[in-house]
Structure 1
Amino acid sequence: MPAPKRRSRAISRPPSPLALPAFDSATGHLHVVVDTPRGSAIKFKFDLEKGCYTISHVLPPGAVFPFDFGSIPSTSADDGDPLDVLILLEEPSFPGCLVPVRLIGVLEAEQTQEGKKDRNDRLIGVAAESRVYKELAELKGVPKHRLKEIEHFFVSYNEERGRRFKVLGRYGKARANRLVRAGERRFREKRTR
């Protein structure tokens, strides 16, 4: 009996999670794709060319991400990468998880490396499904000690990588939303070039 014929199947790559729109049109929530989960000592980054997550950086012993950290699809920061968001959520998710988020504010910051200064703002949002942080509507509602911990994480993370990270100010959700809209415009402009 002849061997059964095998069908050749073309392996197709699933669409990039970063191809989603920045906002969910039904709920108005921000789409955030988790890159690095809370508690991880490894920073992950989505590699668009390979279509998967890769290890970007290993933190020093004892250092971990205080909350999930992710990217906003269809946006572009000044450095060309998607805008970043720290997600207040009581438990870690996983790389690639799509989390609906309500923006509550932004830490406007400046990053210096080898004498070159760049803006590196850190958006902060609350996961729509969070039980612990659901009442937070603005950044000013985050306990001061928690904000200090978050700022300290970004300062020490960058310091360990030979960069200086300086928080310039804390602002609410209106300013954070303007930054996202500007990131969407940059993304569209980049695609039309």
Structure 2
Amino acid sequence: MALPLHLLPARVAHSPTRIHVVIETPKGSRNKIAFNPDLEVLMLKGVLPEGHSFPYDFGFVPSTKAEDGDPLDVLLLLDAPAFSGCVVEARLLGALEIEQREPDGTVQRNDRLLAVAANSREHKTLHTITDLSPDMLHEVEHFFHSYNEVKGGKIRVLRRVGPDRAHALLAQAMLEPLTK
């Protein structure tokens, strides 16, 4: 029997710097796909308005739990869109440390890791968040602002951080390893 997606290890066994990313929503999609751990399936969570789409592949790091109770979110740079459920080895470039206000008024952290697929040809020279253009980072942040406003919420980017801090956020969110 295969290991459920959310129970895969966060880190890749053969590399101390590579992580696993499970793709939920592919680049260019208006459909927000999210993993449902209770049913162990990917489900349609919502549809973005006309003219809105995910700018890059979006997913999560398995075997993690962020402050919002979900696995850590990852925006993944890849040469072409992957598909929902695809597991990708990736390198962390950094993270956006984000404070999110929900429609009910509650505020919580909901950081987004930024990563590049380990096998990417187009993005292989990217190693840190500072390798991304300011315009690209602005567009990514704008997407997250817009996405949350459509749902009635708001975000505030607290900081843009590099790979060392992103790995620290990952370490804080990692669940205990499974025992046999």
What's the TM-score bracket when you normalise by the shorter of the two chains?
A: over 0.9
Alignment-derived partner of residue 88 in structure 2 = 99
Residue aligned with 1:188, SS: coil
Alignment-derived partner of residue 8 in structure 1 = none
Per-residue CA distance 1:67-110 (angstroms, 9 max, x = gap): 00011111001122111100011210001101001001011111
Q: Which protein shows a greater Rg?
A: 1
Could you tell me how far apart the structure 2 residues matched to 1:50 and 1:120 are?
23
Alignment-derived partner of residue 168 in structure 2 = 178
Alignment-derived partner of residue 159 in structure 1 = 149
Alignment-derived partner of residue 27 in structure 1 = 15
Of 33, 36, 39, 2:25 maps to 36
Residue aligned with 1:54, SS: strand
Could you tell me how far apart the structure 1 residues matched to 2:64 and 2:42 are?
18
- TM-score w.r.t. the length of structure 1 is 0.87
1:35-184 matches, cutoff 5 A: 35-113=24-102, 114-184=104-174
Deviates more, 1:63-72 or 1:109-118: 109-118
Per-residue CA distance 1:148-189 (angstroms, 9 max, x = gap): 1100000000001000111111110000000000001xx339
Could you tell me how far apart the structure 1 residues matched to 2:8 and 2:122 are?
27
Question: Is 1:15–2:19 an aligned residue pair?
Answer: no
Q: CA RMSD in A?
A: 1.7
Residue aligned with 2:91, SS: strand
Could you tell me how far apart the structure 2 residues matched to 1:107 and 1:67 are?
15
- TM-score w.r.t. the length of structure 2 is 0.93
List gaps (5 residues or longer) in structure 1. 1-12
Which amino acid in 1 is paired with 2:59?
Answer: G
List gaps (5 residues or longer) in structure 2. none
1:14 Cα offset (Å):
4.2
Count of aligned residue pairs for this structure pair:
177
1:135 Cα offset (Å):
0.5
Residue aligned with 1:18, SS: helix
Residue aligned with 1:162, SS: coil
Runs of 4+ aligned structure 1 residues displaced above 2 Å come to: none
